[in-house]
Structure 1
């Protein structure tokens, strides 16, 4: 049984900002769209393998039940809602920044 993928408004906005930044920085919309595809594919894999993300290194995030998948330099934070058979994407952040206070 596949898990449903849900995203918070915050995660949607963060993803949009990442893609806009890449398009602007590279001057190439195709580069940004390819990166978007990479992130989308990683997120969609969670439908079949919700446990595939690792446990975050910050204990506060671990205690709250977050898991994380890494897509190049970005981190996708999510939680698994077992009863609803859903994966909820909470944040998509640059892993090179201090992120534990961004959630």
Structure 2
């Protein structure tokens, strides 16, 4: 059974910002596109393995039912809707930033 993936506008925007930041920071578009590819692959894997993410360490995020996958630097926060067979991506943030307020 495959889950559907839904991304919030905020997650899409954060992903774009992250890719631009990596391209700018590294001076190399290919590095940024490589990261994008890894993030997309990790997100798509949730269609078949929605439980594969871990429980976040912040208790407030844990209580709200978030799960997180770590893709090298970036963190992808999501929730699973079992009834709708849906994985909702809420945030894609750089692990080096203070991310509690970004979700």
TM-score (ref. length: structure 2): 0.96
- Deviations, residues 44-75 of structure 1 (Å, cap 9, x unaligned): 10000000000001111011000000011111
After TM superposition, where is structure 1 displaced by more than 3 Å over at least 4 residues in a row?
none
Count residues in correspondence. Answer: 103
TM-score (ref. length: structure 1): 0.96
Q: State the Cα distance separating 1:18 from its structure 2 match.
A: 0.5
Give the corresponding residue for 2:59: 59
Which deviates more, 21-30 or 86-95?
Answer: 21-30
**In structure 2, C-alpha distance between the alignment counterparts of 1:96 and 1:23, rounded to whole Å:** 16
Give the corresponding residue for 2:19: 19
Question: 1:1-16 maps to which residues of 2 (within 5 A)?
Answer: 1-16=1-16
**In structure 2, C-alpha distance between the alignment counterparts of 1:85 and 1:15, rounded to whole Å:** 23
Q: State the Cα distance separating 1:85 from its structure 2 match.
A: 0.4
Give the corresponding residue for 2:72: 72
State the Cα RMSD in Å.
Answer: 0.8
Which deviates more, 90-99 or 48-57?
Answer: 90-99
